[in-house]
Structures are given as C-alpha cells and as structure tokens.
Structure 1
Amino acid sequence: MDWKTFQALLSGVNKYSTAFGRVWLSVVFVFRVMVYVVAAERVWGDEQKDFDCNTKQPGCANVCYDHVFPISHIRLWALQLIFVTCPSFMVVMHVAYRDDRERKYKAKHGEDTKLYNNTGKKHGGLWWTYVISLFAKTGIEIAFLYILHRIYDSFYLPRLVKCEVSPCPNIVDCYIGHPTEKKVFTYFMVGASAVCIVLNICEIIYLISKRFVRCAKKVKRRNRAMDLQHDDFEDPFNNYNRVGSKHDLKEKPAFLKSSYKSPPYRPSTLRVEEKMIRASAPNLSIS
C-alpha cells in the first residue's frame, strides 16, 4: 500500500480542519500509520510461519491458524485506516465543488464578482458535510474496535491455543509466535484509536456549540434591531400627544405657534371696561 500517496491526499484536509481536526490527523499519521508501516507489519509478517502445532496432520495447522486468526490484525488495521480517513475526502470534494462553482460564476459575471466569500469556510452545506464526516469517522472507529473485541476476546492474545477443528485428529496445542510483542502493539493501536474517537467527539461538540453561539448572537442582533424599529415607530405619536417645550415651539412655524398659545387674560383691563359701561348707561332708577 502506497501510504505516501495516501498522506498527500489527506494533507489537503488539514487546511479546512479545526484545531481538533489537525491533532486528529497528526495522531493518525504519527501514532497509527507510522507505527503500522515501521513496526506492525514486521511483527505480524511471520505470524503464520511461527504458528506451530504439535501435529503433522496435513492441513491441521492451516485450519487452526484460520480458526485463531479469522482476520489478521494487520489487514484489519489497514482496512480501518482506509475507512476512517475516507470521510475526510467528503470535505475535500465539497470544497472542490465550491471552487468549480466559483470559477463558473466568475466566468459568467466577471472576475470582480464572488459567489462565496471563502470556499473553504465551514458555513452552510460545508459545515454539514464536515460534521457528517466526523460522525462517520467516529462510527467507523467504534465499529472496528467492536469487531476486534469480538474476534479476539477483549484484544487478548494467549501463548497457547487448543484447537480441535477437522481435519485435526484430536485436541491440538498450537503456539503463537511473539505473543507479548503482538499484544503490546494491539493495545497500542487500540489506544490510538480510542484517542481518535475522543478527538472526534470533542470536535463535534466544539462545532455544534460554536454554531449555537453564532445562532444565538444572530437572534439577539435581530431582536435588538426589531426593538429599535418599534421605538422609532412609537416616538412620533408620543411627541404629538406631549406638550412641546419652548424650544420646540420656537422651531415650529408661526401658524402652529398660535395654536399652542393660550388667550391672554388681563384682569385690570376688564375692570376699567366695566366702569366705562356703567358710567355711560342712563340712570333708570325711580325716585
């Protein structure tokens, strides 16, 4: 398997990932792919040759080996790495789709126009693609750990295996080569897979919480704008019903100022007019 080509394909995912995604990618390549290529393949390379049984019955050793190792650890881990990293290509393909749409949009409307502010920014459909890829990676990791647990009895490798599968004539004792070394590598790969699951869950929580915070800010901003519009709508009616101050009256036109002025009331002038009326009236009293 050409792991260098595989690494080159996955390196494009790194620039679209969050901090948790970059740590996950580092763990996959350093603690899983490198360990797989450098050490694990050599440890399991001679497992069938070193699988010895205390019988010379033709076919018995092969049948017992297939019974103990129905799926080889090394091949199961290779499948796990391929399946786990495949959902990350969904993000790369979605970004490539956006780039193609952006190119066609610029060709149609001009180079100065933009369909996306940033084709690699996790908004809209790309956010959903990224989150779905995280759920897929987590589910695949858990599924392969469950398969390994079911096949190999809690990841344990014994030194001696008793086999009574046909064509073995009776119960045959078979010995696994380098069982301690294989057990250590098995636990190491299981631990690295568990760390990747934790990182995926943390990234899912981070993305969802960040999305909720952004939505809450949008709702708060929208409510604030609606409150301002509501206040602007009610103020004219309140100002109409309220008696204006002198400053407000000065700014109003002359024909509006007269409506606000109260009729003058002068008591001294009224008394003088009353005396004049009495003096001019004829004396109608009868003596």
Structure 2
Amino acid sequence: MDWKTLQALLSGVNKYSTAFGRIWLSIVFVFRVLVYVVAAERVWGDEQKDFDCNTKQPGCTNVCYDHYFPISHIRLWALQLIFVTCPSLLVIMHVAYREDRERKNREKNGENCPKLYSNTGKKHGGLWWTYILSLFFKLTIEIVFLYLLHWMWDSFDLPRLVKCSNVDPCPNIVDCYIARPTEKKVFTYFMVGASSLCIVLTVCEIFYLIFKRVVRRMRNWGKTSSKPSVTYSKASTCRCHIKLEQQDSRVKNKHLDALRASAPNLTLI
C-alpha cells in the first residue's frame, strides 16, 4: 500500500468536507482501514487452511468451505472500503473542474478579469449537489454491504461447528470446524459497528447540509421580500421639479420670441 498516495487522497477529501465528514473520514481511516491492514488480514489468513471437516472424501472440504463462505469476510470488507471511498473522489474531481475553468478564464481574459467562482471549494450550486449525491452513494453502499454480510452469515454469527449436508461430493452430513471462530466473530462485530457508526454520521451530514441550505434560502428570500420598491428622496424630487420647470420656461420663451419675430406689432396680454 502506498501510504503517501492514501494520505494525499484523504487530505484532499478532508479539505472540502464538513465536520461530520471529517469525523467519518477519521473513523474510516483509523477504525477500518488500519484495522483491516494491521489485524484483520492476519486473523482471516488461515480461514481456508484450517477449515477442517470430519471426512477424507476428496474435494468435500473445499466444497463445504465454498458453500459456507461464498465470499470471504476480508475480501468483502476490501470491496466495501473501495466502494465507500470512491464517491468522495467525485467532490475532488468537481473542484478540480472548477479550478480548471477558472484557470482557462484567466488565460483568456487576463489576470484582472472577474472570477467565475468566489471560492472553488465552497459547496454552492453544482458542487453542493455533487457532495449530496456522494453522501447518498456512500450511505447506499454501506447499507448494501451490511445486508450482504447479514444475509450470508445469519446475523454476523460464526459458529464453531458447521454442518454441510446434501453437497456433492460430501457423503450425507459432514461436520466442519472454523478456525478461531471467537476471534473472527469479535472482528466481525467490530467492523459492523464501525460501518454502522459511519452510516449514522453520513445521515447526520445529509440532514445538516439540507438544513443549512434551507436556512440560507429562507434568509435570502427574507432579504429580497423586505427590500422596498423604488423610492426617491425629497431632495431628488425637488431637484427634478426645478429642472422640469426650468425646461418649461425655456420652451415658452422660445415660442414667445418666435411669435414676436413673426409679428412685431402684436402685443401679448
């Protein structure tokens, strides 16, 4: 694993996240990724090698193992971590798209041109929708993988004894034994608990962003509705009336001068 690349990726995601998103990212990194890399792989490394059955029938042990473990816990968690962290890349890609547009705008119109975005990383407009969609993707992925784990192994339980029946080429009912079931059960519940906590944080972040957006819209609506229509001050209206009177008097004087020039003997009353 390239830790520098992972650290750069997590710092980029953390830069544009809310407080709930930062807590979610810390839990994923510390309680899921590190536990997976450091401990879980070693705990589940002997699952197939030490899966013993009380028969010497060739192929029966492998078939029983495949019947009870259609997919390994460790590989399922690896897929879950990959799919859960991928939606966060959508936000980084959207911010990179904004920064690229801003750079092209400066190259085309000069350095002193008006900016397209006040802040490329601020969650407004399309970036807000991208962030919300990424949260819904993460929430859906977490729930789907928890359901798969519950459906495959019946409430996340790992019994010591597994009975393999009616599975060819095993004869009749074969008893098989899982290696270190208690230790594996502890790690299973730990990963399920961490995933459930991430679901709660994701739901809280979704409601927080929606509530914040609704409050902002209500404030903007209140400001626009409280603005009065066009008003004029007394000074401005007085000045306008004075200008209009001056213009009317000038027009009248011009007409009088024209009449006097055309009829000099005419007397005006």
The two structures have a TM-score, normalised by structure 2, of 0.84
Matches for 1:260-271 after TM superposition, within 5 Å: none
Q: Matched residue of 1:154: which SS?
A: coil
**Displacement after TM superposition at 1:6 (Å):** 3.5
Identity of aligned residues (%): 74
* 2:50 aligned partner: 50
1:98 aligns with 2:98: yes
* 2:200 aligned partner: 198
* Matched length: 236
Matched residues in 2 for 1:122 and 1:112: separation?
24
Among 180, 187, 190, which residue is 2:189 paired with?
187
| Residues 155-197 of structure 1: CA deviation (Å, up to 9, x unaligned) | 0000000112110112110000000000000000000000000
Contact persistence 1:159–1:175 (CA under 8 A)? yes
Matched residues in 1 for 2:78 and 2:11: separation?
19
Distance 1:28 1:79, change over 3 A: same
Matched residues in 2 for 1:13 and 1:223: separation?
38
Matched residues in 2 for 1:95 and 1:31: separation?
28
Matches for 1:75-94 after TM superposition, within 5 Å: 75-94=75-94
Matches for 1:77-226 after TM superposition, within 5 Å: 77-113=77-113, 114-164=115-165, 165-225=167-227
Q: Matched residue of 2:163: which SS?
A: strand
The two structures have a TM-score, normalised by structure 1, of 0.79
**Displacement after TM superposition at 1:3 (Å):** 5.8
Q: Matched residue of 1:229: which SS?
A: coil
Q: Matched residue of 1:111: which SS?
A: coil
Matched residues in 2 for 1:112 and 1:141: separation?
46
Matched residues in 1 for 2:3 and 2:67: separation?
30
Matches for 1:227-266 after TM superposition, within 5 Å: 228-229=228-229, 232=231
**Displacement after TM superposition at 1:42 (Å):** 0.2
Letter of the 1:185 partner, please give it: F
Contact persistence 1:10–1:89 (CA under 8 A)? no
1:74 aligns with 2:74: yes
Unaligned runs of 5+ in 1: 237-247, 256-287
Bigger Rg, structure 1 or 2: 1
Matched residues in 1 for 2:5 and 2:196: separation?
25
Matched residues in 2 for 1:205 and 1:98: separation?
26
| Residues 42-99 of structure 1: CA deviation (Å, up to 9, x unaligned) | 0000100110000111000000000111110000000000000100000000000001
Matched residues in 2 for 1:73 and 1:223: separation?
57
Cα RMSD (Å) = 2.0
